[in-house]
Structure 1
């Protein structure tokens, strides 16, 4: 694994946990973690369960005891690490968004296609796909239970930088993050909308906004004063704080998207509502074990949204965990991601979402930025690239 901060902790927990709850055809061996600070990365290795540590990702990729490279670093490093790992014959799991630009993502897709021919597989970590309630939503759509999709409403709402005094971090630096709320959290709801509906976005009309354009430099970066502050030093915010856009789906439906880190009181509200010709679905990650389903075939006098508690063993992944009614949490989707990837590697099967799927999301993000910059009424999104490893489009199945 490369990187050991927030995502690295979540991924490490997943690799440790997966073989203890699921029967796997291969046993994950947590060989080595890489980070630039030798003392910090060795402490992380001990804390998170990695056998060894490296201060260079290039040294990690070159090791004979590494078969899979898990990339948990800022977006500006994804392409270099992923391409090198694939060229070295390693499988790759790369955190989202796939890259910081369409061009980088296209390079990564080409590397993945070339590596696939020699048996190396690549996937991108859109982890919320693996929440059991989201899996149930996709199943109901696939089975035609809500009919033709007419509307999608997708939101990702957080508040962790709503305070103007919240310090600068790499997520607020375009050079490292690529974009702000749009790429960090908006990418997730773009992927969820496309995944659950089985359709792709064909065009967008967007607005981006940065509400706070200067922020305090963190004390660890600026040097502590006698009071422990950074002495009032500030730096520029170079990414968007919020993104709002309209979109059209390939099946003709309409969609609205909102991504913000300025919604006070919303900690991790991922909301997806889909209205079809025969019913509706609604999901909110802050109540992640529940899916709401409306069946329009019911007579009006008894019709209403059904609240489905998605904790029965028949639901995706749930049978490996706790008795019905004992809900799952944020970390479980990362374990499911590790489980699926191990099984795909053992079966020599292309994991989903593929790098081509990640590229399609990147194209949407790019279209949103171009639309907002041009103040255009409509910006087309290029059609999905055919995934040559399977001969299918980038639309995916559960």
Structure 2
């Protein structure tokens, strides 16, 4: 019989759905020794929290997160709250001896990420930062191909992450537009994913040159229950200042000599979740588009000149990373499955008391790079990541 581990989900909403789904399915598709129990869901709105818990199968609810984290019967704290509360919850969970599964971005400042990492290290708890795109089978297979030398020497990277959900000037001033609550706009929200993928596939970023831009500088104050992607509530005639960027473009220099570019925007009309990357090397190239997440485009320069071109690899074979746990070859999977992959890897790390990546130390490096980009845009100069102390 598998040992049961009690989960406390801190938050709900969009990410709460994805996490609840994954905790429910992980044991059904992956061979892990632990059985997650959906024990308690924390939320600030008791009515909404109760509705969410009943729908997704959480046994209890609470409106007191400190009390939840310090309960003796909680084994894992899963943080899906807005970014500004990540640090407080993660540090408290580490001090309480709980393993931590945390949504990205890690925190709103580099200093906060260091505090999180130090607390987790001191407590000896497994900590995971959920940049789930690493666990798309096609992305994990791209990593495998790069490590096998299929691309040769890597010359450059291009990462693009575009959305359009705040283009309406009447979209309210939710927490996403406040620097002390979000850290940044798409620079933190979207480029944090792209930086994580670049570190995973290419290596560490050495220096950046960035330009950030805010297109709409004031927005209506939010109504009750305003949330990500759908504001909700009544339109407020009073306005407040937008404190983060709406778009961020940056050039990056990697420590291994490669060059890179990163584009992130919430003002890309028609783009809902356009997350793509391109990797170019001396022997070939790879491109990926999350909107076609089961496919990887590969160019092999060893092919005869008159046969060269990008070919599509359908990454659904039983031999591909993660894919073998699901369906027969050729049967595609979706966004939600990446969370199941993350939960499976996390539970295996807990079982063996091993480090899992990305973790809070990776979060440190990501946020440090993003702060370097913010400084570059502000001071209009090239910034070494090491300048961020």
- Structure 1 length as normaliser, TM-score? 0.91
Is residue 2:10 matched to residue 1:2? yes
Question: For the residues of structure 1 that align with 2:299 and 2:225, how far apart are their CA atoms?
Answer: 51
Question: For the residues of structure 2 that align with 1:60 and 1:332, how far apart are their CA atoms?
Answer: 28
Question: For the residues of structure 1 that align with 2:120 and 2:70, how far apart are their CA atoms?
Answer: 18
Question: 215, 221, 227: which is aligned to 2:219?
Answer: 215
Question: For the residues of structure 2 that align with 1:219 and 1:255, how far apart are their CA atoms?
Answer: 40
User: What's the CA shift string for 1:5-64, capped at 9, x where partnerless?
Assistant: 111111111101111222211111111111112222122111121111111110111111
CA 1:231–1:354: 2 relative to 1, 3 Å: closer
Structure-to-structure mapping, 1:49-128, within 5 angstroms: 49-116=57-124, 120-128=125-133
Deviation at 1:384, TM superposition (A): 12
Deviation at 1:221, TM superposition (A): 6.8
Deviation at 1:175, TM superposition (A): 2.1
Deviation at 1:163, TM superposition (A): 2.0
- Structure 2 length as normaliser, TM-score? 0.94
**Which residue number corresponds to residue 182 of structure 1?**
187
> CA contact under 8 A between 2:178 and 2:243: conserved in structure 1?
yes
Question: 263, 283, 287: which is aligned to 1:282?
Answer: 287
Structure-to-structure mapping, 1:319-330, within 5 angstroms: 319-330=324-335
Task: Give the strand-richer structure, 1 or 2.
Answer: 2
**Which residue number corresponds to residue 33 of structure 1?**
41
Question: For the residues of structure 2 that align with 1:151 and 1:384, how far apart are their CA atoms?
Answer: 24
Question: For the residues of structure 1 that align with 2:172 and 2:330, how far apart are their CA atoms?
Answer: 40
Is residue 2:383 matched to residue 1:379? yes
> CA contact under 8 A between 2:220 and 2:236: conserved in structure 1?
no
Question: For the residues of structure 2 that align with 1:298 and 1:384, how far apart are their CA atoms?
Answer: 44
Deviation at 1:372, TM superposition (A): 0.6
Deviation at 1:292, TM superposition (A): 0.4
SS at match of 2:173: coil
User: What's the CA shift string for 1:296-332, capped at 9, x where partnerless?
Assistant: 1112111111100111111111111122222111111
CA 1:23–1:172: 2 relative to 1, 3 Å: same
CA 1:298–1:209: 2 relative to 1, 3 Å: same
Deviation at 1:231, TM superposition (A): 4.7
> CA contact under 8 A between 1:360 and 1:384: conserved in structure 2?
no
Question: For the residues of structure 1 that align with 2:314 and 2:267, how far apart are their CA atoms?
Answer: 30
Question: For the residues of structure 2 that align with 1:231 and 1:71, how far apart are their CA atoms?
Answer: 30
**Which residue number corresponds to residue 13 of structure 1?**
21
SS at match of 1:29: strand
**Which residue number corresponds to residue 238 of structure 1?**
243
CA 1:351–1:383: 2 relative to 1, 3 Å: farther
SS at match of 2:386: coil
**Which residue number corresponds to residue 351 of structure 1?**
356
Structure-to-structure mapping, 1:246-395, within 5 angstroms: 246-376=251-381, 378-382=382-386
Question: For the residues of structure 2 that align with 1:286 and 1:205, how far apart are their CA atoms?
Answer: 28
User: How many aligned positions are there?
Assistant: 375
**Which residue number corresponds to residue 389 of structure 1?**
none
